[in-house]
Each structure stands twice: as C-alpha cells, then as structure tokens.
Structure 1
Amino acid sequence: MVVPQDLIHQLESSLQVYLKKAELALECTFPTPELSFQVRGKVAGKAYLQQWQIRLNPTLLIENQQAFVEQVIPHELAHLITYHQFGRVKPHGKEWRYVMTNIFRCPPETYHAFDISSVQGETFTYQCQCQTHQLSIRRHNKVKQQQTRYHCSLCGTQLKLLNKEKVINGL
C-alpha cells in the first residue's frame, strides 16, 4: 500500500515536534529516526532500537491518520529515546512511561484500539472454562505442532480448539 506524500509529511512533522521536546527536556540532540512502512498484521508500529527506525503499518495508518500522528509516532519515538537514555529496559516500563508522560505529555497507552478487521488474517476459536478466544493462524499452528500451549489469563485453564461445527451451530 502506498502512503500519500502529504500524510508522510504530517508524520515527519509530528516526529520533529516530539524529537524537539525530548532534546529540550534531556538537553541533548537526537538524529531523526528513519520512517518506514513495512509493518503488517495487527501491529500499528514498531521501534527498531539499533537501527534508529520506526516502522508503521500502512493499512492502519491510512485508516487512522490522526491517531498515528498524535499517538503512534510519540509512542514509538519514546521507545527510541528510552533506549538511547537508559539502555535496554522493559519496553513499557517506568522509563518509557516517564518519556511519554513527562516529556511528550501523552498518555502512556501500550495498545491501540484501532479496528483491525482490514488487516486481521484467519482466526481460530479456542475455549477455556470461562470464555472463547480468537487465536491467529500463527498461534493456532504452534498449538497444532505442539510447540506451545496457551492458557486463559482470567481462569488459567488451557485453551482448547473448538471445531468449526460447534462454532457454526452456536454450541
């Protein structure tokens, strides 16, 4: 998917605004991170620390332009700034939250709430004792190949695949 040039300019402007905030607050200069549009799937963006690069999901970007400018850019830049200042720390730990809250003045949200229907691949329905779960094809294949088991974060029981007939018939 091709990202329109005017949208790229908006992202670059947002990046410069937040970069300047970090430079003033931390009294140092940072190179401008490279922007790339190579993320697929449900992820909005990723920060590549050693490459000093921010990769964005072009489909979700087109569908959520303002949110990317106001939320995703500072979120991913905060990862780079945190790495530069503190080294390897928890991805959304206290250092990252400090950059988001005190320097960027943004809520330190760790997940986006974008509609992912346009980017979500096939899912498989699994059941625990308290609810159903939708697993991606990647996670489903790991279960099939006996590489891993998934458990519900609420009840703790192992997830079991529901066969398609049960789902179709509402059982």
Structure 2
Amino acid sequence: MIDSADKALLSQRLGELYTEANAYFKRHFPLPELTYRRSGRHAGTAFLQQNRINLNPVLLQHNRDAFIGDVLPHEVSHLLVFQLFGRVKPHGKEWQSVMREVFKCAPETRHDFDLSPLKLRTADYECACGPIALSIRRHNAVLRGQKQYICRQCRQQLKPAG
C-alpha cells in the first residue's frame, strides 16, 4: 500500500528529526521502527516502550505532506518525551515544549484529515449543531449504557438520530 519511495522519504525525515533532537538535547536517541498499519482514525501512534511509530497508510496516502511536516514530528515527540521524562501527560508541557522548541511545530493534538478514504462504519447522532457520525465502538458503548458523548461545539449530549 505504501510504496518504497514514500517509505524512503519518511525514513529520511525520521532521520532528520532525530538529528535535530540529538543536537538539541546533546545526546543520542535510538531511531524507532516505522510501521504502516491501519489504526482506526488515528494518523499515527507512538508505542513508547517499543520505540516504534505506526502510521496509518490510508491517511498517509492522502496527506503525505502533513505526515512529513506534522504527524511524524508529533509521534517522534512522544517517543523523545518518554525517553527523557518517563510517563507524563501525553500532550502535556513536556511534549508541547519538544514540538515547539525542537521541531518548530505547533503542538496540535488532533488532525483534521478527511476520513472518508478510511470507509469507517459510523452511527448517526445529532445535537444542536446538526448531524454527527459516531464510531461504531462509541455507538455500542452508548447502547450498553457505558458512555455518553458531548458535542465539542455546543456542549450538548449527543442523541441517536431519528
């Protein structure tokens, strides 16, 4: 799914990020393994104890520049923070500092990629803002009475549509 040219480009960018981090912190960090597996709607995931970054191949194909400029530094920052500070808040001050100071990136915690290429199954919900698609996993948690979800904009509880 991901061609060898894209893998080489991402590997090169990974090396550049680690060169920057090594120079900034004046120490050597081991390069992580890069894997390419679908992971829901996540663009990337850092596996801290495995020193591994997984990238979503479908989203990568549709957002290559954003993966190189934003997603990869985001996930590398998680690995570096873990190696420097141990377990801390995932997007806490340490992570934000690495994003800003080392990689000169905005510390964004969510992507806004078009998710339609993922062909995810969803359930229709609504609030004052209008319709919202909830993942099947979240929908099932609502059906079991385990969870309730609130709209990020209007702060109303989401209700099943129809």
Q: If the length of structure 2 is used for normalisation, what is the TM-score?
A: 0.92
Two-structure CA RMSD over aligned residues (Å): 1.5
- Residue in 1 that maps onto 2:148: 149
Aligned-partner Cα distance in 2 for 1:40–1:59 = 10
Which aligned pairs between 1:61-76 and structure 2 lie closer than 5 A?
61-76=60-75
- Residue in 1 that maps onto 2:5: 6
Query: 3-state SS of the aligned residue for 2:83?
Result: helix
What displacement does 1:91 show? 1.0
Aligned length: 162
8 Å Cα contact 2:38-2:58 kept in structure 1: no
Aligned-partner Cα distance in 1 for 2:17–2:112 = 22
8 Å Cα contact 1:40-1:119 kept in structure 2: no
Q: Does 1:88 align with 2:87?
A: yes
Aligned-partner Cα distance in 1 for 2:78–2:14 = 13
Q: Structure 2: which amino acid aligns with 1:3?
A: I
- Residue in 2 that maps onto 1:119: 118
Identity %: 44
- The superposition leaves residues 73-104 of structure 1 with CA deviations (integer Å, 9 ceiling, x where unpaired) of 11100000011111111111111111011011
What displacement does 1:154 show? 4.5
Aligned-partner Cα distance in 2 for 1:162–1:124 = 8
What displacement does 1:155 show? 4.5
Unaligned runs of 5+ in 1: 164-171
Query: 3-state SS of the aligned residue for 1:118?
Result: helix
Compared CA separation, residues 142 and 155, structure 1 to 2 (3 A):
same
- Residue in 2 that maps onto 1:23: 22
Aligned-partner Cα distance in 1 for 2:6–2:74 = 18
Deviates more, 1:65-74 or 1:5-14: 65-74
Aligned-partner Cα distance in 1 for 2:81–2:28 = 14
Aligned-partner Cα distance in 1 for 2:152–2:100 = 28
Query: 3-state SS of the aligned residue for 1:88?
Result: coil
Aligned-partner Cα distance in 2 for 1:153–1:3 = 34
Name which one, 1 or 2, has greater alpha-carbon Rg.
1
8 Å Cα contact 1:82-1:95 kept in structure 2: yes
- Residue in 1 that maps onto 2:131: 132
Aligned-partner Cα distance in 2 for 1:109–1:151 = 21
Q: Structure 1: which amino acid aligns with 2:41?
A: K
8 Å Cα contact 1:39-1:56 kept in structure 2: yes
What displacement does 1:152 show? 3.1
Compared CA separation, residues 130 and 68, structure 1 to 2 (3 A):
closer
Aligned-partner Cα distance in 1 for 2:104–2:154 = 36
Which aligned pairs between 1:41-56 and structure 2 lie closer than 5 A?
41-56=40-55
- The superposition leaves residues 27-61 of structure 1 with CA deviations (integer Å, 9 ceiling, x where unpaired) of 11011100001133211100000000000001111
- Residue in 1 that maps onto 2:104: 105
Deviates more, 1:146-155 or 1:26-35: 146-155
